[in-house]
Amino acid sequence: MPSCINLNCWMSINPNKRVAFLTLGCKLNFSESSTLAREFEDHGYCRVAPSSKADVYVINTCSVTEHADKKCRQAIRKVISLSPHAQVVVTGCYAQLKPDEVAAIEGVKLIVGAKEKGNIIHLLNENVNEEMAPVIYSCNIEDVEVIFPAYSSGDRTRSFLKVQDGCNYHCSYCTIPLARGKSRNLPIETILKEAEEVASKGVKEIILTGVNIGDFGQTTGESFLDLIKKLEKVDGIERYRISSIEPNLLTTEIIEYVAQSSKFLPHFHIPLQSGTNGILKAMRRRYTTEQFTNKISEIKNALPNVFIGIDIIVGFPGESKSDFEETFHLLERLNVAFLHIFPYSVRPNTPAELLPNRVPPDEISRRVHQLKILSEKLHQQFYHNNIGQKANVLFEARRKNEMMMGYTENYILVEAPYMQNMTNTIVPVTLNGIAENGNATIEITTL
Quickly name the fold that domain 390-444 has: OB fold (Dihydrolipoamide Acetyltransferase, E2P) (2.40.50)
Most confident by average pLDDT, 20-29, 126-135, 226-235? 226-235
Look up the CATH architecture of domain 147-265.
2-Layer Sandwich (3.30)
pLDDT digits (tens, 9 = 90+) for 276-325: 999 999 999 999 999 999 999 999 999 999 999 999 999 999 999 999 99
CATH 2.40.50 intervals, the chain: 390-444
pLDDT digits (tens, 9 = 90+) for 410-438: 999 999 999 989 999 999 999 999 999 99
User: Residue 320: CB partners within 8 Å, gap ≥ 6?
Assistant: none
Has residue 446 got a pLDDT over 70?
no
CATH 3.40.50.12160 intervals, the chain: 5-143
pLDDT digits (tens, 9 = 90+) for 328-374: 999 999 999 999 999 999 999 999 999 999 999 999 999 999 999 99
- Out of 8-12, 106-110, 117-121, 390-394, least confident range: 8-12
**Whole-prediction pTM:** 0.92
Has residue 189 got a pLDDT over 90?
yes
Q: Which CATH superfamily is domain 5-143 in?
A: Methylthiotransferase, N-terminal domain (3.40.50.12160)
C-beta neighbour count of 442 within 10 angstroms: 21
Structure confidence at residue 232 (pLDDT): 98
Has residue 15 got a pLDDT over 90?
no
Structure confidence at residue 145 (pLDDT): 75
Has residue 12 got a pLDDT over 50?
no
CATH 3.30.750.210 intervals, the chain: 147-265
